[in-house]
Copies of this chain bind each other. A is one copy, B any other.
Amino acid sequence: MRKEKIPAATIIRLSVYQRYLKRLLANGVKVVSSSELAYEASVNPAQLRKDLSYFGRFGVRGVGYDVASLLNTISGILGLLDEWRVVLVGAGPIGQALLRHPQFSRQGYVFEAVFDFDENHIGKQLEGGHTVRAIEDLPKVIKERGIQLAVLAVPSERAQEIADVLVESGIKGILNFCTTRIRVPRGVSVQYVDFTILLDTLTYKISQNNTGNKEPVSSAKPKWAREHSWPVVQSNIQRQGVSLTS
């Protein structure tokens, strides 16, 4: 591996490549072209080659990539050659929806135990066979089973306190569905999930199209057209809790 800072976007794309390669392998496809694989991640083939170049040399010019071999390599880079056991903290609507989401087990993430501090949830039997346990049991379960990944889906005001317990117990990575930032020591990573930030990227694009604030078009990566123009239909209601006029 080159001693070079690897962009976060490259790691995300490795995951996208990995999923597509898995699908190809399952369908019996042996070789994939760089343009097909790049298309899947909405980049051009040069970006795909750059992404892979951080980790070595792959593929044969004019032939493409060996699906099984590249899948194995990328899975290894991402740490995905084995299953990962995960604790879920927060058995509310989001937490329960995640438990039932087939994509986790399909990608090798296994929910090992579910915790909550809400007396109404503790002891409840969830679909899929999990019984919600009290937060007090969290350190013991994490330590005994050597779990390193946690999904945090508690109300934001409890997020830091629970994160502290997770870190003390040995968790090294937290997928955080709470909308507040949490502080963790070095050696622990946090990935934030805020659905509304993703919606903002869409409203940005729609608004840019509407106002005619055109970004230069990259011919290699046409993301959306600029020739469209239409009135943005929005209600003119003030945002909750904050006036946006200064």
Contact = CB atoms under 8 A, between A and B. Distances in A.
A172 to B, nearest CB: 5
Contacts of A93: 93, 96-97, 100-101
A43 B224 CA distance: 28
Contact of A241 (B26, B98, B188, B223): B26
A44 interface: no
Given A195-B101, A240-B105, A173 B80 contact: no
A91 B85 CA distance: 28
A107 B197 CA distance: 9
The residue among A25, A72, A148 with the most chain B CB atoms within 10 A of its own CB is: A148
Interface string A27-41: 000000000000010
A194 B103 contact: yes
A148 B224 CA distance: 15
Interface string A194-207: 11111111111111
A235 B104 contact: no
The residue among A26, A173, A199, A236 with the most chain B CB atoms within 10 A of its own CB is: A199
Given A84-B199, A84-B234, A173-B206, 8 more contacts: A3-B215, A103-B179, A149-B202, A175-B195, A175-B198, A175-B202, A188-B224, A189-B201
A165 interface: no
Contact of A78 (B6, B174, B189, B204): B204
Interface string A1-43: 1011110110110111011001001100000000000001000
A81 B200 CA distance: 11
A196 to B, nearest CB: 4
5 contacts: A4-B216, A12-B200, A94-B101, A103-B179, A104-B199
B189 A205 contact: yes
A61 interface: no
Contacts of A16: 197
Contact of A80 (B72, B147, B200): B200
A106 interface: yes
A97 to B, nearest CB: 4
B189 A108 contact: no
A187 interface: yes
Given A15-B200, A179-B103, A245 B72 contact: yes
